[in-house]
Amino acid sequence: MADVAAHHRKAPRPQDVVAEQVRIERADALVLIFPVYWWSMPGILKGWIDRVFSNGWAYDDSEGKVVKKLGRLEIHLVGIGGADAGTYGRHGYDGAMKAQIDHGIFDYCGAPVVTSELLLEADTIDVAPHLETARTIGRDLFKSRKSEAVKVA
């Protein structure tokens, strides 16, 4: 009930939510690595997003027009799934995930999704290519942060 009251601006945000928001405010990028459960992220991660990316902090929906407030926060998503790419493609799961997560959550808040990767067949194939993909994502993220630090200095 506290989250609903905060959403409607009838109560302050719960302290545990504020603490998470402060952590994110100190960051310039958010990296979420998660197993794919039923063609989405696990419920515990979705619940965290539902509470933390709240009205008034991540976006403002008080005047009937949504104001996106997280334009400065880069998002990097890495989903780890058991099915193969053919299954995702045939059923449109990859597009559905991008629509609900990349667009439906992060674009709604204005946070640009810089990386959106699915590492598939993680439980049945040689994971070396997946590890290399993860290394590349991390290396690119580190390089962009390092080059920004040099520009600022």
| Domain edges within the chain | 2-124
pTM over 0.85: yes
Q: Which of 20, 30, 106 is nearest to 74 (CA)?
A: 30
Q: Are 130 and 85 in contact (CB under 8 A)?
A: no
Q: Are 20 and 48 in contact (CB under 8 A)?
A: yes
Q: Which of 46, 110, 36, 98 is nearest to 72 (CA)?
A: 110
Confidence (pLDDT) at 85: 92
The parts of the chain modelled with pLDDT lower than 70 are 145-153
Q: Are 13 and 5 in contact (CB under 8 A)?
A: no
Q: Distance between CA atoms of 7 and 57, rounded to whole angstroms?
A: 10
Confidence (pLDDT) at 148: 57
Span 2-124 CATH architecture: 3-Layer(aba) Sandwich (3.40)
Q: Distance between CA atoms of 77 and 137, rounded to whole angstroms?
A: 10
Confidence (pLDDT) at 147: 54
Confidence (pLDDT) at 153: 40
Q: Distance between CA atoms of 13 and 142, rounded to whole angstroms?
A: 33
Confidence (pLDDT) at 63: 78
- Biggest CA–CA distance in the chain, Å, is 52
